[in-house]
Structure 1
Amino acid sequence: MLEERDVAGLRAYADELRDTFMRMQREASDLNARAQAIQITEKSLDGLVSATVSVRGELIRLDLDPRVFRRPDARGLADTITDTVRRATARAVEELVKLFEPVIPPEQLRAHLDGDLDTVLDQLSSGMSGEGRRR
């Protein structure tokens, strides 16, 4: 049987979820448009590669300085491109997390984006038990 404290905790969590949902619903279209518009450009450490990615990590643009062809190192160039795109994608994710911070706790959004189901379930469980709720 649920104790009064458990019921109060569940009610508070349900109220918090409802308030968050209502706020998200009001701000959804603006947040969605702003999220879809996120594009990050990152330069390689040597400055010869520039990559622009979307918030989903899709490569939008890749620029190679002609000087990259002075050193015929296909593996090195591929690694530089991969690293540059990876860093741009990480920055895009951080921009997304910052954008949604008013409505979704950063650690919760990161767990969702990372596909970390264990952390997501732990966070939901903590919230339902009244622990660690954010106000």
Structure 2
Amino acid sequence: MTQPQHPTTAATAGQPGAPRIHPERQRRVRSALRMFSVAAWITGVLLLLLVARMVMEYGFNMDVSALAWVARVHGLAFIAFLMTSLNLGLKARWPAMTWVVTAISGVIPFLSFVVEAQRRKEVTATFQL
């Protein structure tokens, strides 16, 4: 007679020697990952909008006064991005360099999307989410 497997054991049944992740830790990491992903996407979109605004203003001498709010909102979104990446990094126990690279990705156009996908893949695999 076989005994029912724990959900985390079932997820790792095909991986011999893989450590079991406590369900509560998985829940906390999943929640932190979700917040990080949302913040990364919002920051990335606002950064692209900010770059477009700057190109229009300084490259083409266009009046972009209607987009004056973009820089402030991106700044606030970037702060949220830093906080959510720190939160995820603490829960996932990232090394400092991983967190630094993740944090910098919020100020380079398109990089926040790439790094978000990479971190999502890593965290999902590590914590069997």
Shorter-chain TM-score: which interval? Answer: 0.3 to 0.5
TM-score (norm 1): 0.34
User: Which structure has more helix as a fraction of its residues?
Assistant: 2
User: Which structure has more strand as a fraction of its residues?
Assistant: 1
Larger RCO (CA under 8 A, 6+ residues apart): 2
Query: Larger Rg: 1 or 2?
Result: 1
